[in-house]
């Protein structure tokens, strides 16, 4: 008994449990509907109520009601959503679909009914579905095709009846009218036999686009003639047969015409079948374009019949076979393409493969045991492509000797193997156009010129091959090369020197991850046609304009993941106008404002730059990891303001100095007032009075004041500016020190000239302040008779003073003069210290 | 024929409020080996068992697993993270269903279908590490959607031979 059938009771119990777990839980957890695309796509999974949810508008085109508990569908069930294109009813616990359930859905193209154990399906259940293209009835408890009411669905393109219990492939007649049908799947059903007439409906019309899947069935027999005259696009027969019935069943395929036939198993199939002698004999009478044999395990000695009946097929794919040797090849083989994927060869079976004289493409891939390549391909004059990638090949002396008389070999893929030694002998394969050696450890390249004879090669991939380019002539001979990929290797001294001098046709160059630290000046001189340069993930610190200037055809430049701090103006200038993609991300950018022009350039070139989100500032530390394109340039402009502030301060100081210069007198006086009073007071009263007068009144002062007062008795000592002020001392200092500080009284001679003199008014102001602060010196006002009273009134401070204080008036009359002298002498006598001499004189 | 193995397929699904998560299931409970798992997919739990827990010491062992697919698995990828003390120390990933012709039977199953697998599992590493750790497993499909997700708590002190 096959193991797959042994689903024990316990297992089934769990499965059943699982089937019912999600729905009650989901029903109480999820919101009724999720609007995936506004107005058109709604997902309402896990509903516990029947009917289309109220929130779904009539414009809805895609509706997902999967995992809901709908139980049954009645007529006009979906009339509220007539625009539907896709309706998903997966696992909705449906047991009944009544007539006309979908009758309103004229536009519906996809109906999914997966995993509903339908007990009752009305005869008119699918009526109205005039546009239906895809109907999925997987796991819906179907047992026969005849009861399926789909005869009117002429537009159907895909009908999936997988995982059901259909026992017969007897296609009802209406399949003849389904001319658009492209995919018909009976995957995992119970079909046991296919009889003559079962596929009659497919005989008529053009079915070259139809894929018929019969995998995972239990076919015991196919009646000869059942497939005669049937023309299919693809027929899949994986694990389709009862274990021992495959050989005889295949006989029944006689007369079939098919573009692709897939026969075989699954890797986890319980029914894995041994390959017996003559197993595929039935295919001799099948006409096919491509034959796929997949996941057969035990090929033994009997396998030599493998190609007996498929030798006339143009394409053969052998996947996951335990094939250790290539079977006997029929002499009339017409195989053009042969692929052995995941087979069990230990040596490349070149000798036997050479018998496929028509062979054009050969692929032997993903074969872990394949280590040796000792045999030679010989005389395959049509061979163009050999793909030996992803094996474990380890060979020396590649490659000419392995290919005798294969003059048309253009494409050789030896990538992802263990290790290969290249001798430089490519004489027999000198017409190679493509050579792929990536991820295979190479011996030879880099040390000496191994590619000399590959003059026509246009594509070379030696990425990650542990090659160290030491020789200047590493790529000599590759004069036609357009693409060179050599990422993940290294160069001598980590320096790119004149290695590419002959590669003038190069379009694409990948030298990423090559540990490069320096690029010499003339490195790219010959690469004037280069369109793509990938030099990322190296250790380059500069982008020197001189080095990259020759690359005037460049369209794509990847300079990411280096140690570039800035792209200088000169470097930016030489970037060719043809450049469309530039990647300088993940470098160590310096974002200080010194490089403001670079930062501005980045902002301008947003369209050109790639991976902008990975362009981060590295220095200075306060902007580390700031994204470069979104860098705030205004911070640089603010610093200009910071420069301006000292200027402002300087200006203020200047203004202050000017003010000080202008108001020096007042300031000096204030200083004296505030701090110097006591010190000056000690000077004592040298004079009896300080006379404030205009220089124009000097004559009057001498005649009427000085002579009578100083010459009279008692003699008074007056302070006069023209006489007593010290030379070499500022006037202000004299006024204060000699005048006010040394005098007991102040005599102000008010005349018209006094009012006009600035010095006089200054002196008077000080006298007033002095009187206020010290409360000592009295001001004796003498108003001369010819003073203009109107002018006097204009001098506000003075006129107010005169109004409030008694003053002396000088009149040139004898009697008035007498009174004047008495009053003045009286005032001056007050508080005078008489010394001895003066007393004696009296 | 391994019908008897089905008897080992013991699973107790306890319905509890989903807000507290899915229950923890026991896969193995022996002297030197304990394996429990808990689904970390908010949408559903799943069934999983190992036929002979002691086989885990060998390179290949038989498992059974079942679930209802919430998403189609045209392609299926598995990723395993080994977590010790909250830190991921090992990551392993493999393609179970790649593009092109399906290798395994269940590849290509659709949303809503049952997924059931019984058969051998071969790990890419020589042996399952000893000690106490968590294995976080995640299955994703062609659209990078999580198909299933589980945290396995492992206490493994088996002797290897």
Q: Would you place residue A692 in the very low, low, confident or very high pLDDT band (cuts 50, 70, 90)? A: confident
pLDDT of A356-382, one tens digit each?
A: 999 999 999 999 999 999 999 999 999
Upper half-sphere CA count for residue A651 (Cβ side, 13 Å):
5
Q: Would you place residue A641 in the very low, low, confident or very high pLDDT band (cuts 50, 70, 90)? A: low
- The string of DSSP codes covering A555-614 is -EEE--SS------HHHHHHS-TT--EEE--SS-EE-SGGGHHHHHHHHHTTTTBS-GGG
CB-based contacts of A742, cutoff 8 Å, min separation 6: A683, A684, A685, A686, A687, A690, A719
Report the share of chain A in percent with pLDDT over 70: 90
Q: Would you place residue A3 in the very low, low, confident or very high pLDDT band (cuts 50, 70, 90)? A: very low
- Contact between A215 and B104 (Cβ < 8 Å): no
**Chain A residues with CB inside 8 Å of B5's CB?**
8
pLDDT at A837: 46
Q: Would you place residue A300 in the very low, low, confident or very high pLDDT band (cuts 50, 70, 90)? A: low
CB-based contacts of A583, cutoff 8 Å, min separation 6: A536, A557, A558, A559, A560, A609, A610, A611
Mean predicted confidence (pLDDT) in A580-604:
90
- Contact between A378 and A355 (Cβ < 8 Å): no
Q: Of A105, A121, A140, which residue sits at a domain end?
A: A140
**Pairing state between β B60-68 and B47-50:** antiparallel
Mean predicted confidence (pLDDT) in A722-742:
79
Q: How far B11 CA lies from chain A's nearest CA (Å)?
A: 7
Cα separation, A369 vs A348, in Å, equals 10
pLDDT at A7: 40
Same domain, A134 and A160: no
**Chain B residues with CB inside 8 Å of A137's CB?**
none
Report the share of chain B in percent with pLDDT over 70: 84
pLDDT at A2: 39
Interface touch B114/A15, C-beta < 8 Å: yes
Same domain, A300 and A165: yes
Mean predicted confidence (pLDDT) in A341-363:
92
Optimal mutation site among B96, B107, B110, B145, interface A, most CBs of chain A within 10 A: B110
B113 lies within 8 A of chain A by CB: yes
**Which of B5, B66, B104 is closest, CB to CB, to A267?**
B104
pLDDT of A126-141, one tens digit each?
A: 999 999 999 999 999 9
Residue A581 has pLDDT above 60, yes or no: yes
Same domain, A812 and A776: yes
B74: containing domain = 3-156
pLDDT at A633: 80
Cα separation, A85 vs A59, in Å, equals 11
- Contact between A349 and A326 (Cβ < 8 Å): yes
Residue owning tokens 């306890």: B14
Helix pair A664-671, A758-774: axis angle to 10 deg: 20
Cα separation, B13 vs B25, in Å, equals 8
Residue A495 has pLDDT above 70, yes or no: yes
**Which of B2, B112, B119 is closest, CB to CB, to A115?**
B112
pLDDT of A517-557, one tens digit each?
A: 999 998 999 999 999 999 999 999 999 999 999 999 999 99
B38 lies within 8 A of chain A by CB: no
Residue A335 has pLDDT above 90, yes or no: yes
Q: Which of A321, A293, A12 is nearest to B118 (CA)?
A: A12
* B101 to chain A: closest CA residue: A294
B68 lies within 8 A of chain A by CB: yes
Interface touch B103/A320, C-beta < 8 Å: yes
Cα separation, A778 vs A827, in Å, equals 9
Residue A675 has pLDDT above 70, yes or no: no
* B62 to chain A: closest CA residue: A268
Same domain, A130 and A176: no
Q: How far A603 CA lies from chain B's nearest CA (Å)?
A: 35
Give SS3 for A1.
coil
- Contact between B9 and A14 (Cβ < 8 Å): yes
More confident residue, A622 or A160: A160
Task: Write the CATH number for B148.
Answer: 2.60.40.770
Of the listed ranges A169-178, A629-638, A679-688, B89-98, the one predicted with least confidence: A679-688
- Contact between A57 and A33 (Cβ < 8 Å): no
Cα separation, A46 vs A69, in Å, equals 7
Cα separation, A777 vs A717, in Å, equals 15
pLDDT at B159: 74
Residue A299 has pLDDT above 50, yes or no: yes
Give SS3 for A229.
coil
Angle made by CA atoms A688, A690, A696, in degrees to the nearest 5: 135
pLDDT at B5: 44
- Contact between A496 and A490 (Cβ < 8 Å): no
Distance of CA A71 to the CA centre of its chain: 49
Residue owning tokens 């589980």: B150
Q: How far B69 CA lies from chain A's nearest CA (Å)?
A: 10
Same domain, A128 and A152: no
Interface touch B101/A262, C-beta < 8 Å: yes
pLDDT of B29-56, one tens digit each?
A: 888 889 999 999 888 889 999 988 888 8
HEC string of A661-696?
HHCHHHHHHHHHHHHHHHHHHCCCCCEEEEEECCHH
Residue B90 has pLDDT above 80, yes or no: yes
**Which of A8, A90, A319 is closest, CB to CB, to B111?**
A90
pLDDT of A745-773, one tens digit each?
A: 888 888 878 877 877 877 877 777 777 66
A239 lies within 8 A of chain B by CB: yes
Same domain, A604 and A503: yes
> How many interchain CB pairs under 8 A, A with B?
112
**Which of B1, B7, B13 is closest, CB to CB, to A17?**
B13
**Chain A residues with CB inside 8 Å of B70's CB?**
22, 67
Cα separation, A842 vs B9, in Å, equals 147
A319 lies within 8 A of chain B by CB: yes
**Which of B1, B5, B113 is closest, CB to CB, to A163?**
B113
Cα separation, B7 vs A132, in Å, equals 45
Give SS3 for A22.
helix
Residues 171-230 of A with CB under 8 A from B: 216
Average pLDDT, chain B: 82
A19 lies within 8 A of chain B by CB: yes
Interface touch A11/B64, C-beta < 8 Å: yes
Q: Would you place residue A684 in the very low, low, confident or very high pLDDT band (cuts 50, 70, 90)? A: low
State the total domains in chain B. Answer: 1
* B10 to chain A: closest CA residue: A10
Q: Of A140, A166, A194, which residue sits at a domain end?
A: A140
- Residue A490 maps to a domain: no
pLDDT of A233-279, one tens digit each?
A: 999 999 999 878 888 999 999 999 999 999 988 888 776 667 777 88
Q: How far B124 CA lies from chain A's nearest CA (Å)?
A: 14
- Residue B161 maps to a domain: no
Interface touch A114/B119, C-beta < 8 Å: no
Distance of CA A439 to the CA centre of its chain: 29
Interface touch B113/A6, C-beta < 8 Å: no
Optimal mutation site among A4, A6, A14, interface B, most CBs of chain B within 10 A: A14
More confident residue, A123 or A810: A123
Can you name the residues that pair with B29 across neighbouring β-strands? B34
The single-letter DSSP state of residue A300 is -
Give SS3 for A181.
coil
CB-based contacts of A449, cutoff 8 Å, min separation 6: A424, A471, A473, A474, A475, A476, A477
Residues 79-108 of B with CB under 8 A from A: 101-105
Cα separation, A466 vs A440, in Å, equals 8
Q: In what order do the strands lie in the sheet with B76-84?
A: B25-29, B33-39, B146-156, B131-141, B76-84, B87-97
Report ipTM (2 d.p.). Answer: 0.81
Same domain, A136 and A187: no
B114 lies within 8 A of chain A by CB: yes
- The string of DSSP codes covering B110-146 is PTT-EEEEEEEEE-SSSSPPPEEEEEEEEEEETTS-E
Of the listed ranges A154-158, A323-327, A351-355, the one predicted with least confidence: A323-327
Cα separation, A795 vs A430, in Å, equals 117
Cα separation, A261 vs A1, in Å, equals 28
Distance of CA B96 to the CA centre of its chain: 13
pLDDT at A23: 42
Same domain, A11 and A96: yes
**Chain A residues with CB inside 8 Å of B95's CB?**
none
**Chain A residues with CB inside 8 Å of B44's CB?**
18, 21-22, 25
Cα Rg of chain B (Å, integer)? 16
pLDDT at A213: 95
A114 lies within 8 A of chain B by CB: yes
- Residue B28 maps to a domain: yes
Task: Write the CATH number for A106.
Answer: 3.80.10.10
Same domain, A808 and A717: yes
Same domain, A174 and A64: no
Cα separation, A500 vs A738, in Å, equals 98
Interface touch B113/A26, C-beta < 8 Å: no
Phi, psi of A507 (to 5 degrees): -105, -35
Interface touch B6/A22, C-beta < 8 Å: no
Mean predicted confidence (pLDDT) in A202-208:
84
Residue A838 has pLDDT above 50, yes or no: no
**Which of A10, A114, A262 is closest, CB to CB, to B6?**
A10
State the total domains in chain A. Answer: 4
pLDDT of A767-813, one tens digit each?
A: 777 776 666 557 788 887 777 777 777 765 677 777 777 777 777 77
The H-or-E segment that residue A814 falls in is helix A814-829
**Pairing state between β A62-64 and A41-43:** parallel
Report the share of chain A in percent with pLDDT over 90: 51
Return the sign of the alpha-carbon dihedral for residues B146, B151, B157, B158: negative
Interface touch A11/B114, C-beta < 8 Å: no
**Which of B101, B105, B111 is closest, CB to CB, to A66?**
B111
pLDDT at B16: 39
Same domain, A505 and A624: yes
- Residue A488 maps to a domain: no
A111: containing domain = 1-140
Q: How many CB atoms lie within 10 A of CB A300?
A: 12
Same domain, A180 and A317: yes
* A93 to chain B: closest CA residue: B112
Average pLDDT, chain A: 85
Cα separation, A112 vs A1, in Å, equals 34
B6-11: long-range contacts (C-beta < 8 A, 24 or more apart)? B6/A6, B6/A7, B6/A8, B6/A9, B6/A10, B6/A11, B7/A8, B7/A10, B8/B49, B8/B51, B8/B52, B9/A8, B9/A10, B9/A11, B9/A14, B9/B47, B9/B49, B9/B64, B10/A10, B10/B49, B11/A14, B11/A17, B11/B47, B11/B49
- Residue A380 maps to a domain: no
């Amino acid at each position: 008994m096959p193991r797959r059938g042994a689903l024990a009771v316990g297992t089934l119990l769990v499965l059943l449990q699982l089937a019912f777990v999600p729905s009650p839980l989901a029903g109480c957890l999820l919101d009724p509907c999720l609007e995936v695309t506004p107005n058109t796509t709604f997902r309402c999974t896990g509903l516990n109520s029947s009917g289309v949810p109220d929130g779904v508008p009539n414009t809805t085109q895609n509706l997902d009601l999967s995992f809901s508990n709908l139980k049954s569908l009645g007529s006009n069930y979906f009339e509220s959503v007539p625009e539907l294109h896709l309706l998903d009813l997966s696992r909705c616990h449906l047991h009944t679909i009544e007539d006309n359930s979908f009758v309103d859905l004229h536009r519906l193209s996809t109906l999914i009914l997966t995993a509903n154990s339908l007990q009752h399906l009305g005869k008119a259940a699918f009526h109205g579905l005039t546009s239906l293209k895809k109907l999925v009835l997987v796991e819906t408890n179907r047992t026969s095709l005849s009861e399926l009411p789909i005869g009117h669905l002429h537009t159907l393109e895909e009908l999936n009846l997988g995982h059901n219990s259909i026992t017969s492939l007897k296609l009802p007649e209406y399949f003849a009218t389904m001319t658009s049908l492209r995919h018909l799947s009976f995957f995992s059903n119970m079909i046991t036999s296919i009889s003559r007439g079962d596929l009659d409906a497919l005989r008529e019309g053009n079915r070259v686009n139809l894929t018929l899947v019969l995998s995972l069935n239990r076919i015991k027999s196919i009646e000869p003639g059942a497939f005669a005259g049937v023309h299919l696009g693809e027929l899949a027969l994986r694990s389709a047969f009862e274990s021992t019935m495959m050989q005889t069943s295949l006989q029944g395929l006689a007369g079939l015409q098919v573009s692709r036939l897939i026969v075989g198993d699954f890797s986890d199939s319980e029914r894995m079948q041994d390959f017996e002698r003559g197993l595929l004999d039935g295919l001799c009478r099948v006409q096919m374009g491509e034959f796929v044999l997949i996941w057969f395990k035990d090929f033994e000695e009997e396998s030599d019949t493998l190609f007996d009946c498929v030798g006339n097929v143009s394409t053969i794919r052998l996947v996951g076979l335990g094939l250790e040797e290539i079977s006997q090849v029929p002499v009339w083989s017409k195989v053009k393409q042969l692929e052995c994927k995941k087979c069990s060869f230990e040596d490349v079976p070149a000798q036997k493969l050479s018998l496929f004289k028509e062979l054009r493409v050969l692929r032997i891939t993903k074969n872990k045991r394949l280590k040796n390549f000792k045999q030679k391909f010989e005389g395959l004059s049509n061979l163009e492509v050999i793909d030996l990638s992803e094996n474990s090949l380890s060979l020396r002396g590649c490659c000419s000797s392995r290919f005798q008389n294969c003059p048309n070999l253009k494409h050789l893929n030896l990538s992802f193997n263990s290790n290969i030694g290249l001798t430089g002998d490519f004489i027999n394969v000198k017409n190679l156009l493509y050579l792929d050696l990536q991820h295979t450890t190479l011996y030879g390249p880099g040390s000496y010129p191994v590619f000399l004879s590959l003059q026509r090669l246009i594509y070379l991939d030696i990425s990650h091959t542990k090659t160290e380019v030491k020789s200047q002539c590493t790529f000599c001979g590759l004069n036609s090369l357009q693409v060179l990929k050599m990422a993940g290797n290294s160069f001598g001294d980590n320096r790119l020197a004149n290695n590419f001098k002959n590669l003038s046709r190069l379009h694409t160059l990948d030298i990423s991850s090559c540990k490069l630290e320096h690029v010499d000046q003339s490195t790219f001189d010959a690469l004037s046609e280069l369109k793509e340069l990938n030099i990322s993930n190296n250790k380059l610190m500069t982008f020197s304009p001189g080095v990259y200037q020759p690359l005037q055809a460049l369209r794509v430049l990847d300079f990411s993941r280096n140690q570039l701090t800035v792209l200088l103006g000169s470097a930016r200038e030489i970037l060719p106008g043809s450049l469309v993609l530039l990647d300088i991300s993940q470098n160590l950018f310096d974002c200080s404002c010194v490089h403001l022009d670079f930062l501005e350039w980045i902002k301008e070139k947003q369209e050109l730059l790639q991976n902008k989100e990975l362009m981060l500032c590295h220095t200075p530390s306060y902007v580390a990891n700031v994204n470069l394109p979104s860098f705030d340039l205004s911070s640089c402009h603010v610093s200009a303001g910071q420069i301006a502030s000292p200027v402002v301060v300087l200006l203020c100081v200047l203004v202050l100095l000017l003010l000080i210069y202008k108001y020096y007198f007042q300031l000096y006086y204030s200083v004296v007032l505030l701090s110097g009073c006591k010190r000056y007071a000690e000077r004592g009263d040298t004079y009896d009075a300080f006379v404030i007068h205009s220089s124009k009144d000097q004559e009057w002062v001498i005649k009427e004041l000085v002579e009578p007062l100083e010459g009279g008795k008692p003699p008074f000592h007056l302070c006069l500016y023209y006489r007593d002020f010290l030379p070499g001392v500022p006037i202000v200092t004299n006024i204060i020190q000699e005048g006010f500080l040394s005098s007991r009284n102040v005599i102000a001679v008010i005349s018209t000239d006094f009012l006009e003199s600035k010095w006089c008014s200054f002196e008077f102001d000080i006298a007033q302040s002095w009187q206020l602060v010290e409360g000592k010196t009295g001001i004796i006002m003498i108003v001369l008779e010819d003073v203009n009273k109107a002018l006097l009134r204009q001098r506000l401070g003075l006129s107010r003073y005169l109004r409030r204080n008694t003053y002396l008036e000088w009149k040139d009359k004898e009697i008035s003069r007498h009174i004047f002298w008495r009053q003045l002498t009286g005032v001056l006598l007050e508080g005078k210290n008489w010394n001895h001499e003066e007393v004696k004189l009296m | 024929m391994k019908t008897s193995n089905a008897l080992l397929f013991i699973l107790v699904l306890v319905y509890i409020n989903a807000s507290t998560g899915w229950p923890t299931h026991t896969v193995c409970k022996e002297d030197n080996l304990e394996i429990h798992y808990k689904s970390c997919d908010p949408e559903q739990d799943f069934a999983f068992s190992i036929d002979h827990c002691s086989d885990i010491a060998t390179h290949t062992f038989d498992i059974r697993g079942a679930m209802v697919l919430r998403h189609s698995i045209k392609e299926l990828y598995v990723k395993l993270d080994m977590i010790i003390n909250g830190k991921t120390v090992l990551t392993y990933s493999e393609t179970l269903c790649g593009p092109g012709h399906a290798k395994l039977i269940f590849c290509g199953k659709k949303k809503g279908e049952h997924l059931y697998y019984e058969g051998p599992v071969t790990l890419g590493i020589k042996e399952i590490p000893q000690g106490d750790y968590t294995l976080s497993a995640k299955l994703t499909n062609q659209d990078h959607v999580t198909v299933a997700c589980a945290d396995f708590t492992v206490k493994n002190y088996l002797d290897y031979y």
